[in-house]
Structures are given as structure tokens and as C-alpha cells.
Structure 1
Amino acid sequence: MRSLKFLIVIFLAVNFANCQAQKQPNIILIVADDLGWGDVGFNGQDKIKTPNIDLLAKQGMVFNNFYAGSTVCGPSRASLMTGMHMGHSTVRGNPRWTATGKPVDITKEDVTIAEELKKAGYQTAMIGKWGLAENLEEGRPNEQGFDYFYGFNKHRPAHHYYPDSIYENNKKLVIDGNNWKKKEKHYIQDMFTDKAKNYLRKQNDKPFFLYLAYTTPHYELTVPEESKKAYRALDWPLREMKPRHYLHDKNGHVTYAAMVSRMDQQIGELMSQLKEQGLEENTIVIFTSDNGHEYDNVKNEFFNSNGPYKGRKRDLYEGGVKLPFVVKWPKKIKPNTYSNHISAYWDLLPTFCDVAAMNPTANIDGISMLNSFKGKDKKQLIHDYLYWEFNEGRGPIQAIRKGKWKLVKRYQKDFELYNLDEDEGETKNLASENSKILDDLKTKLVDARTENENFPLIKLNPNKK
């Protein structure tokens, strides 16, 4: 009898140990704002120093074909949170760009990453720029599955780096001593980093999801002076920035580079905190951006922020939607590797569900990337196509990617068809030479979307009340 009891105890102990070893991984998703594909060292940037982000790339896997949900932040973040592309998303444009001119937020019917992960036992936190609760109602992070929130609900307040106030959960807090007009006292990116580090210090044996959405390097261009020192010494040509709504610092090139490098340094601090807490081995860390760059002048490039690609923010060419993307997962993802799997923002929700050993609740557009994470591209499900639409000043514009082919339809312009395998810069329109492919993609362009009264594909007037 004693032997039987002993065996039972050993069996239970082994199973407990196995359960501990198989604990669901923590997930940290870090998103920059308006950071171009080419603004990081691992994608060839040689002026702006990003050693900590580049280290993540060496320790993990770089995705060479990862795309934003949209070419501007609001709809892109909605796609990220809900697993829907622009043909089905609740939010398809930034606040003013709706049929009524009134902002549209995600709703209680939308199922977010945070809501899904909470069902799997995760703690959830959102720190930084949310941008999906312009109406301060059901779109707020605490109403969308996040246990903790510190940041901007709306877009416009996030345009300033020394805000007078910030939200913690659903409470608006005054930031002591801050003056956004004079750019005094606490730099909000520093505060986001401190909150994220404090959040890590509080973690124990329960899995967590931390969504850290920096506003760097979105306009306005400003950063504490100590971050500029290394770049001032390089004697770069002056690109003078004029302060208007955005209270830019004068020296654009130096400021932009310093903002990115300060964020990189803070990501390094976060990774050190993760290691100090003993959480590194069981944490997935992802770094990416929300859409293409805005700062670099594509007609007179200095940083080459879009690398070999055409366009920038507000374009549906590659430079507007292709993103830097790196994922690190110790002992699960082989270090210093890459994947050419074609994926997008709407794939992260099902990927995180897959990681948490659950299925998504809603019928979504995303496909889990987990097999690609693990180097099993041959087993990875692939998209039939990726779809985008965008309707601001030059809109409406639509685009679709199917394998190597990319179709772009601009307002009152002919269709553009590109072979991305042979022409990644989208320089040669092949529409007249490939009628069968063109017809197929034109059909998909129609089938990819459902009508949405808030976001019709007609010319919009942002001043309409």
C-alpha cells in the first residue's frame, strides 16, 4: 500500500512539473507609431542606431512579408485587436474620415485579443496609444478586455509628448508639472516605459499579455535634449521643422533619429526587466510598427525609411503598409532566422489564441502564424489574399496582394498590377500584360469587402458634421 501511495505521489509530482513546464507563455507586443520598414538596423538602417531592437532580431525571427492592417493608425490598430482586415473591420478610417464626419470606435460586439486571452486565464494590460475610443464609451480598453490601461484613448491628445493629462483605466489623471505647449516636464514615452517595467515587476505565475504601444516616432517631433547628443555631433544637413499643430523641435533629422533611438533604449530596459524578473524564457516578445513612415521625404530621402519600397504612410504601396516585424521566443523560435510567410496585423489574434491553446471566438480574417514562428513554413496555412482599403484625401484607394501579385486601385485611375517577386519597388505596371490575373484580382477586390455605411467607397468630406 505504501508503495502504491508513493507511486501516486511521484505521478502527481511529475504531472505537476510537466504542467509547470508547459505553462502558457507570456506575450509582449511592442508597437511603434509611424516607424518605417527601413528605420531599424535589421532592415538595413545605417544612420539611426537601434541596437536593442536589432538584438531581438538576432535572438528571434524576422518576418520579411508582414503588413499593417491599414496605412494609418486607427484602422490598423482595430485590425490588430479584432483580427479583421479592412473589408470587414468596424473601423476602416481615422476619426474624421467617416460618412458623417463623426468618429467610429470598435464596439462591444468586436472580440479583441485581450478578451480572447482572458478566457485562457491571461492577465491583460494596455499601455500607450489606444486610439479606438474617441467617444470614450464602449471602445475603451477596460471595456475591451484589458485589466489595466494607462495611455491615450483618443488620437489627438497622443500628438503631444508632454500631455497635461493621461488616462489610467477609466480615470483621467493630471500629470503634475506637464505643459504640452511648452513641452515640459515628463516625456510621455518615459512614463509608458516606467509603467511597463512596473507591470512586469508585479507578475507572478499567471500568464500575461502586455500591449505596449509607443507614440514614437509619430509627429510631433520632439525628444529630450540628452537623446540628441550623439546625432548632433554627426553634422547632418538641417531639415528645419516648422511648429504648427505639431510643436516640432527645429532639427528634424536629429530629432527623428533621437526619438527612435530613445525608444530602442527603453525597449532594452524592458528586456532587462523581463530577464531580472525571471520571465524571459517563457515570454514571446514581438516588435513592429503600425503603418509606414511619415517623416522621410520620399523625393529626397535621408534615412531611406521605406527601404526599397514605394510610398509611405497614407499609401497602399508597399512603403505604406509593409512593416518591420521581429518575434523572439526562447527555445521555441530559432535565433537569427527569418520567414517569408505573407502575413498581416489581422493574423496576430489567431496566433495568440493558438499560443494559448484556444480557438478564436469570432469568425475572423486572420490565420495563425504559429507554424511559421516555429520554423514550420511547409505546414503553415496561407492566405488566399490580403486586402486593404483607405479613404482619406486621395481616396478611396484599394489594394490586394495574392502571392507575388499586388493590385492597386486608386480613385479615378487605372488599375495597377505589380509582380512583387520581380519588382518589389512597384515600378512597372503589368496590368495590360496579364489580363487573366488582373480579372481574378479585380473580382477579389469586390468580394473582399462588405458594405459599411460609415465607410463607403466614395469621396469623403472630413469637414462634414
Structure 2
Amino acid sequence: MKQAFIILFGALVLLGCKPEEEKNRKPNFVYILADDLGYGEVGYQGQVKIQTPNIDALAASGMVFTNHYSGAPVCAPARCILLTGKHGGHAYIRGNDEWRERGEVWDYAKAAADPNLEGQRPLPGGTVTLASILQKEGYKTGIVGKWGLGAPTTESIPTKMGFDYFYGYNCQRQAHNLYPPHLWENETKVPLNNPIVVPSTKLDSLADPNDPASYKKYQQQDYAPTLMHEKALSFLEENKDEPFFLYYASPLPHVPLQAPLNDVDKYHEEFGEEDPYTGVNGYFPNRYPHATYAAMISLLDQQIGEVRNKLKELGLEENTIIVVTSDNGPTYTGGVDFDYFESSKPFTNGYGRTKGFVYEGGIRIPMLVSWPGKVEAGSKTDHISAFYDVLPTICDLLGIPAPADADGKSFLPTLLGKEQEEHEYLFWEYPEYGGQQAVRMGKWKAVRQNIMKEENLEIELYDLSIDPKEQNNVAAANPDLVKKMEEIMQKEHSTPILDRFKMAALGD
């Protein structure tokens, strides 16, 4: 009897201590970055053809940001800006630099065999990142998915940039196949059970494009998004007893159009027959492009739901901040039908206005934050924010100073329902697709196009409050405002360190 009492008393003591320990534990962070997910491609933003019940449920449990922006309209600079807190006028990586001087980097098979040809231009060794800051604060840090900020043989790989664990694609070009011949785990190249099929591989010359069997070679065994998802769930399980930061940089729904056939079949039944995509611009053909693209987004949604369920299972949901967003706007190529899905709704769809461009469809992205008990469920904010605000926000939450050269402002007050200091303006600089700059100041949006290609410095001006599609350039009627935007563009531009990103018209 006495022994039973001692056991019972000890259990009560332990149970009594646990709430206090949980109360004092730092919050966990799960930052889920979709790849090319458009503003209008999720249900809570009005999407009707693609089902995203788990993302919608998270949005209902937390706060939706209606004015959140990527740092850039393509992959690598957006990820650099997110991790360093510096906007495109100050960032080291300002575009997708494939580091071509190494050799045949665009030869998929050669790069798959030679790590010296993989990966993008590296960040300088010792770059301070969000991950390295959190590591110093006692966090276990992991990235699962796509890196894109440095080749395997450089100092700019995840495990040397603040992450304790990495699994996924090092190289964005290798991610142009969702059944790749290998992935990376930390600093080890992991072979997969997939023979190499080069992304530009077309249908066989005698194949019937209407026969699903003609596309069999594009469906292999080891599907990278599934393998990476399993590692993401394992990371949560293995680090449940200490604070963690999981950067889940999913390759979905970036083309090529590849998804498990069972998922495609569900949408094929719903959408009915459609014309095949026969493959251009280096992406695989696909028999049911609408159904496959929808299946890719729904698979992403399913995986996000499983992450949330894993946190619940581990008793960690209330102490975990979940962010779901996208690296830039939707693509215009590879068989994606942006008009069918109204991918950028309510903004303008298509080439020149979505991915690759600093108009709203290219940089305004879906973003939600869930933090039960802290962020009001079902709330929505019009606060104007961008990727380079994420680092200062997390530093603010932890009570530590952000790096002095960070460009962002913490949006923690917005999350907690407190008074928020607004940006005077947001700034973008992107030297590709002709060379571009943009400023968002309140309801006003200024855009410069073809700075590099044509040395054009003319400023377009749009009133987003009445013209979200950016169709009516009102620069001529607002010369003082245009002059202010020009001054901001000049002030926020610094000469890039890398020659590839320099624009002569800006004085570089």
C-alpha cells in the first residue's frame, strides 16, 4: 500500500510539473513554403476547382494575411530574402543564378552524376540566416524540400547555414523531375530507385498522346514529395522534446506535372476528358494536365494536414506556430492552365504578370499563421508585409535583436492583436526578366520594367485600392508621387556584389 502511494504521489508530482515546463518552453516553428502556389489556388482564397480542406481548416484556426508578399518573383532570391531578412536591393542572391561558369549545369544527366554541376550560386560562408539565429537560441533546425542557395561542394549548404538536418533537393534544376535519381540527406547523396529521365524527354515518336500508357515512363517508383514528407514527420517526432524550427520547402506544385495516379484519377473523374499536354520548355508531357495540377495541390494540402495531425499527436499543436505560404506566384508554363484555375485571382494571370514579374500576381502570395490560443481563430489582416519581415518577427517573439542589416519589421503585434507599426513602403528589385523594381506604399504600387534589357527607368503607377489588376497606369496624373517612388528606388538599391545582378541603368 505504501509503495503504491509513493508511485501515485510521484506521478502526480510529475504531472504537476509538466504544465509549468510546457508553459516556459519556447514556441516551435513550422514554416511551410509551397513552390509556385498562386494567391487564388487555395480554397480560403476562393478556389473552387481544387480541394484544400486542410489548408482551409488551418486558415480558419488562425490568421489570414491578405497583403503578404514574397521577396522576389522566383525561387532562389525569394528563399535568400526569407532566410536573411534583406530585401532584393540589399540581398546577395537577387535572381536564379545557375552558376554556369562551372560547365554544363543544364545537362540534367551530367549534373545528376556530378555534384560539382549541381546547385545554384552559393551564399557567402558565414551568412547569418534565420536558421543560424534559431540554432544559437537552442532550437533544433531542419529543412525538408528544396534548397536552391548553394551547390553540394560549397560552404552554402543547409548544414553549414544553420540547419541541423536537411533532406531533399539541393538543386532547383534537379527538382524539374519529381522522380529524381537522387536526393540529399545532410551532406550525403542518397540514390533513389528511379532511372534518369531527362526533363526534356518527349513522348515516343509513335506514341498515341491520348493513351495514358504513353506517359508511363514519367511515373516511376520513388516520388520525392512523399519521401521528403516522411522525413518532415520524422523530424517532428525526433525533436518533440525540445524547441524546433522546421522549414518545409515543398517542391509542390512546381512543374513538371507529376502526381500519384490515384490522386490524378479522382480529379480526372471530376473534370472529365481534357487535351493532353505534349511537353514544351523542358517539362514532361502529361495526359491529364488539369487533373494532375489539382492533384499536386491537393497532395500538398494532405501533407499539411498530416503535419498538423502529427503535432496534435505529440501534444505540440498549441505551442507551435504554423505558417503556410508560397515562394512566389503561379507559373505560366509546363502545362499549368492558370486561366482554368484562375490561379492569380483577383490579380492578372499569365506570362508577364505572374511568376517572374513584380506585378501583384507574381509576388502577392497566400499566407496564413496558426497558433492556437495566441492568434485569434478566423481572423484576417490587411497588414502589408513581406518575406523579409519573417526573421524580425521571430526575433521579436524570442525577445532577441534582429540583425542590424535586416530590412523588415516584426508583424508579431498583428499576430497578437496589438497595435502594429506599419511599413512606410515595401521594396523589390529583381534583375531578371528584363530587370525590374517595385515599391508598395499604402494603396500605391510603382513598377519599373526592362531596366536591364532596355535601360528603361520609366515608372508605372497603380492605385491597388481600385485597380488590383494593375491595368490603369496613373503615373502621368501623379508626378509628385512618381518622384517619391523614384527616390525610394534609388535609396533602396545597392550595387550587387555579383556581376550577374548589376543593372547599368541604376549606376552599377
Give the TM-score taking structure 2 as reference length. Answer: 0.83
Aligned residue runs from structure 1 range 266-415, under 5 A: 266-295=303-332, 301-310=339-348, 311-376=353-418, 379-392=419-432, 394-411=433-450, 412=454, 414-415=458-459
Q: Quick one: which amino acid aligns to residue 87 of structure 1?
A: G
Deviation string, structure 1 residues 137-195 (Cα, Å, up to 9, x no partner): 11100000000000111111111101111110011111135554533101111111111
- For the residues of structure 1 that align with 2:227 and 2:90, how far apart are their CA atoms? 35
Structure 2 stretches lacking a partner, 5+ long: 1-14, 106-119, 199-216
- For the residues of structure 1 that align with 2:405 and 2:271, how far apart are their CA atoms? 53
Q: Following TM superposition, by how much is the alpha carbon of 1:25 offset from its aligned partner in structure 2, in angstroms? A: 0.5
- For the residues of structure 2 that align with 1:449 and 1:300, how far apart are their CA atoms? 33
Ranges of 4+ aligned residues in structure 1 off by more than 4 Å: 13-19, 97-103, 177-181, 295-300
Identical amino acids, percent of aligned pairs: 40
- For the residues of structure 1 that align with 2:303 and 2:157, how far apart are their CA atoms? 26
Q: Following TM superposition, by how much is the alpha carbon of 1:120 offset from its aligned partner in structure 2, in angstroms? A: 1.2
2:294 equivalent to 1:252? no
Report which structure shows greater RCO (CA 8 Å, sep ≥6): 1
Aligned residue runs from structure 1 range 25-424, under 5 A: 25-96=27-98, 103-134=120-151, 136-177=153-194, 179-180=196-197, 182=217, 183-236=219-272, 238-243=274-279, 245-295=282-332, 301-310=339-348, 311-376=353-418, 379-392=419-432, 394-411=433-450, 412=454, 414-424=458-468
- For the residues of structure 1 that align with 2:347 and 2:381, how far apart are their CA atoms? 18
Relative to 1, partners in 2 of residues 1:351 and 1:224: Cα closer, same or farther, differing over 3 Å?
A: same
CA contact (8 A) 1:24 1:355 kept: no
Relative to 1, partners in 2 of residues 1:47 and 1:440: Cα closer, same or farther, differing over 3 Å?
A: same
Partner of residue 503, structure 2: 457
Relative to 1, partners in 2 of residues 1:147 and 1:104: Cα closer, same or farther, differing over 3 Å?
A: same
Partner of residue 6, structure 2: none
Relative to 1, partners in 2 of residues 1:374 and 1:180: Cα closer, same or farther, differing over 3 Å?
A: farther
Relative to 1, partners in 2 of residues 1:178 and 1:212: Cα closer, same or farther, differing over 3 Å?
A: farther
Question: Aligned to 2:383, what secondary structure does the other structure show?
Answer: coil
- For the residues of structure 2 that align with 1:384 and 1:98, how far apart are their CA atoms? 38
When the two chains are superposed, the root-mean-square deviation of aligned CA atoms in Å is: 2.4
Deviation string, structure 1 residues 30-88 (Cα, Å, up to 9, x no partner): 01101100000010000000000000000000000000010000000000010010000
- For the residues of structure 2 that align with 1:98 and 1:374, how far apart are their CA atoms? 46
- For the residues of structure 2 that align with 1:366 and 1:431, how far apart are their CA atoms? 27
Structure 1 stretches lacking a partner, 5+ long: 1-12, 460-465
CA contact (8 A) 1:132 1:140 kept: yes
Moved more, 19-28 or 325-334: 19-28
Q: Quick one: which amino acid aligns to residue 65 of structure 1?
A: N
Question: Aligned to 2:483, what secondary structure does the other structure show?
Answer: helix
- For the residues of structure 1 that align with 2:102 and 2:413, how far apart are their CA atoms? 42
Question: Aligned to 1:341, what secondary structure does the other structure show?
Answer: strand
Relative to 1, partners in 2 of residues 1:272 and 1:298: Cα closer, same or farther, differing over 3 Å?
A: closer
Relative to 1, partners in 2 of residues 1:279 and 1:15: Cα closer, same or farther, differing over 3 Å?
A: closer
Question: Aligned to 1:64, what secondary structure does the other structure show?
Answer: strand
Q: Quick one: which amino acid aligns to residue 357 of structure 1?
A: G
- For the residues of structure 1 that align with 2:229 and 2:376, how far apart are their CA atoms? 28
Give the TM-score taking structure 1 as reference length. Answer: 0.90
CA contact (8 A) 2:330 2:343 kept: yes
Moved more, 174-183 or 29-38: 174-183
CA contact (8 A) 1:125 1:146 kept: yes
Q: Quick one: which amino acid aligns to residue 315 of structure 1?
A: F
Question: Aligned to 1:346, what secondary structure does the other structure show?
Answer: helix
Moved more, 330-339 or 307-316: 307-316
- For the residues of structure 2 that align with 1:237 and 1:451, how far apart are their CA atoms? 52
Moved more, 52-61 or 201-210: 201-210
Q: Quick one: which amino acid aligns to residue 191 of structure 1?
A: L
Moved more, 289-298 or 211-220: 289-298
Deviation string, structure 1 residues 219-260 (Cα, Å, up to 9, x no partner): 111111001122111235625322353224222111100110
